[in-house]
Amino acid sequence: MAPWSERALRVALSIVLLCVPMQAGAGNLSILLCNNVNVDLFDCVDLVNLYNATDGDNWVNHTNWGSNDVDSWYGVIVDPLSGRVIALDLALNGLDGEFPPSWIGLQALQFLQLSSNALRGELPEYIGDLQSLTFLQVGFNILEGPLPDSLGNLTLLENLFLGGNQFSGPLPAGIGNLLQLEVLDVFSDSFDAGGRLTGPLPDLSGLTRLRRIGLDANRLEGPFPTYLDQMPMLEELRLRGNRLSGPLPANVGSLGQLRVLDLAGNQLIGAMPSTLGNLGALEELDLSFNDFTSTLPSALGDLAQLRVLRIAGNPLEARPQVTGPIPAALANLNQLEELNLEFNRLSGALPECLGDLGNLSVLSLQANDLVGPVPEAFTALGLNTLYLGLNFLDADQDDRLILSPTLQTWFNGIPNTVDIIAGLGFLDSLDQRPVVGDPDVVFASGFEGLPSNSCTGA
């Protein structure tokens, strides 16, 4: 039998509506009201079904839902010329339930915002039939299961935000067809490995308009993409907590608009490319918990806008670590607020010029192979968090290691710091990194009782 035409469906639905008893279910809207509204019949039925499926009577705001003027329903925008619903914004509105089993209307919908509710179940396959969509956000719900392949049909889509759910399976290859896409966000909100995307990262090389990629905390694997130089507008690249492998390609340095590069917690290997220094707009760089084996590129000192630099090693696994001295060029990072290079094999003395980082508030260099005194220039830093333990530093400088009033305030909470650091004393890999000095000095006060510590005094 041939499929019904839209006209035949409309006629059939109209007959059904005439036969429906004039009474809604408890706490629901009746689709009978769609006989007398000022919008497309199918659009009205879909809205009523969504209301009933997600406990509409208990939404935070359901103003005017059920009236004849659909354009006055909270969150609904109707095109006055066509009578079609073109926007639906019900974010943070207490929707609780699953998507209706089908939508037969809403074909003119351009904007769909259902984030931060309690939508459950799977994202339905029919979402790909809404081919007028330019904006689709259903983030921060309780959605799960595979992402529908039909997402690849939304060729006008500019913003796709599905993050904060528990989707599983692969990222559909069809997303690579969304050539207008500017935002792609499908980070996981699951503590269960079963609620995360898996498999290789699909080919996104055609998405040259992308400004944000957010695929954090999934289980995506395979080599790190080499086509990033084809995304000149990219501002945020967040791939933290996946299983991407191989080297970090040099062409990452071509992303002149990039503000955030977060690749922590992957399996990247080899040398960090010196081309990172070309990222003149970069404000946050996190390459922690990978398998880099190189020294720190001096070119990092060229990142004039950088506020956060994290390249920490992994204290819980015997994995490769960054080696060599701390580049003096890092002292050029005048905007830097956080510097975290802990749990590596950095060696040599602490560069005195780091004391010139006037905006620095967090400095963590613990668990390296640093030697010598703490530079006197550090006394000028306005730090509120400082970790220098588990090195080979000489901390016998009582009179000048009280670095600032803010740091003194932080050390009033020293028991928390003791808990954090003392727990690391059980790691065999740290046993040969003594703490030298008087335990009354602030740098050593958290380390009494650790293996291989050379603290003296009462």
* pLDDT confidence of residue 435: 37
d(CA 62, CA 64) in angstroms, rounded, equals: 6
Query: Does residue 338 belong to any structural domain of this protein?
Result: yes
Q: What is the pLDDT of residues 381-418, one digit of tens each?
A: 888 889 999 999 885 554 444 444 444 333 333 333 33
DSSP 207: -
What is the side-by-side strand order in the sheet with 436-437?
Answer: 323-324, 345-349, 369-373, 392-394, 436-437, 454-455
Please report, for residues 82, 387, 445, the alpha-carbon distance to residue 381 in angstroms, rounded to integers and kept in the order given: 63, 14, 20
Identify the band that residue 28 occupies on the pLDDT scale cut at 50, 70 and 90. confident
Q: What pLDDT does 317 receive?
A: 67
- The answer to whether residue 28 sits within a structural domain is no
| Residue 383, domain member (yes or no) | yes
What is the DSSP pairing of strand 166-168 with strand 198-200? unpaired
Spatial separation of the C-alpha atoms in residues 47 and 209, rounded to whole Å: 32
- The answer to whether residue 424 is domain-embedded is yes
- Does residue 148 carry a pLDDT above 90? yes
Instruction: Give per-residue pLDDT as tens, 157-187.
Output: 999 999 999 999 999 999 999 999 999 999 9
Amino acid sitting at position 205: S
pLDDT over 80 at 11, yes or no? no
> First vs last Cα of the chain: how many Å apart?
92
Residue 262 contacts by C-beta under 8 Å, 6 or more apart in sequence?
216, 237, 238, 239, 240, 284, 285, 286
The Cα 293–Cα 311 span in angstroms is 12
Whether 287 maps to a domain, the answer reads no
Identify whether 454 is part of a domain: yes
Nearest in space to 434 (alpha carbons), one of 386, 350, 370, 375: 370
What letter represents residue 55's amino acid? D
pLDDT above 90 covers a percentage of the chain that reads 69
Q: What is the CA 291 to chain-centroid distance, rounded?
A: 21
| DSSP 8-state assignment for residue 235 | -
Kindly list the distances between the CA atom of residue 19 and the CA atoms of 14, 178, 260, 338, in Å, as whole numbers in the listed order.
Answer: 9, 43, 58, 68
Q: Which helix (H) or strand (E) holds 118?
A: strand 118-121
CA 300 – CA 178 distance, rounded (Å): 34
d(Cα 442, Cα 402) in Å, to the nearest integer? Answer: 7
How many Cα atoms sit within 13 Å of 94 on the Cβ side? 9
168 domain-assigned: no
- Of all residues in the chain, the percent with pLDDT exceeding 70 is 79
SS3 102: coil
Instruction: Give the pLDDT score at 8.
Output: 47
C-beta separation of 343 from 312 below 8 A: yes
Q: Where are the alpha helices (DSSP H) in 310-413?
A: 405-411
Residue 174's SS3 state is helix
**Section 277-283 average pLDDT:** 98
Confidence of residue 379 (pLDDT cuts 50, 70, 90): confident
Give the pLDDT band of residue 151 (cuts 50, 70, 90): very high
- Average pLDDT of the residues of the chain: 83
* pLDDT for residue 215 is more than 90: yes
Q: In terms of C-beta density within 10 A (0-12 exposed, 13-18 middle, 19 or more buried), how is residue 432 classed?
A: exposed
- 234 dihedral zone (left: phi>0; alpha: psi -120 to 50; beta): beta
Structure tokens at 157: 């889509």
Rounded Cα–Cα distance for residues 114 and 123 (Å): 12
- Residue 442 clears pLDDT 80, i.e. is over it: no
- Cα gap 235→12, rounded to integer Å: 50
Domain that includes residue 419, residue range: 312-458
Q: What confidence category does residue 314 fall into, taking pLDDT thresholds of 50, 70 and 90?
A: confident
Residue 1 is predicted with a pLDDT of 41
H/E stretch holding 199 reads strand 198-200
Q: What is the pLDDT of residues 100-122, one digit of tens each?
A: 988 888 999 999 999 999 999 99
Number of structural domains in the chain: 1
Identify the residue whose tokens are 């000149």. 232
CATH number of the domain encompassing residue 327:
3.80.10
Instruction: Find all residues with CB under 8 Å of 8, minimum gap 6, and list them.
Output: none
Select from 28, 35, 76 the least CA-distant residue to 49: 28
- Residue 313: CB atoms within 10 Å: 24
More confident residue, 425 or 291: 291
Residue-wise pLDDT for 336-372, tens only, equals 999 999 999 999 999 999 999 999 999 999 999 999 9
d(C-alpha 201, C-alpha 214), whole Å: 12
pLDDT: which is higher, 9 or 24: 9
Q: How far apart are CA 327 and CA 301, in angstroms?
A: 8
Query: What residues contact residue 132 under an 8 Å CB cut-off, 6+ apart?
Result: 86, 107, 108, 109, 110, 156
* Residue 221 near residue 198, CB atoms below 8 Å: yes
Q: Is 440 inside a domain boundary? A: yes
Beta bridge mates, 120: 98, 142
Work out the average pLDDT over 66-86. Answer: 96
Tokens describing residue 24: 């809604």
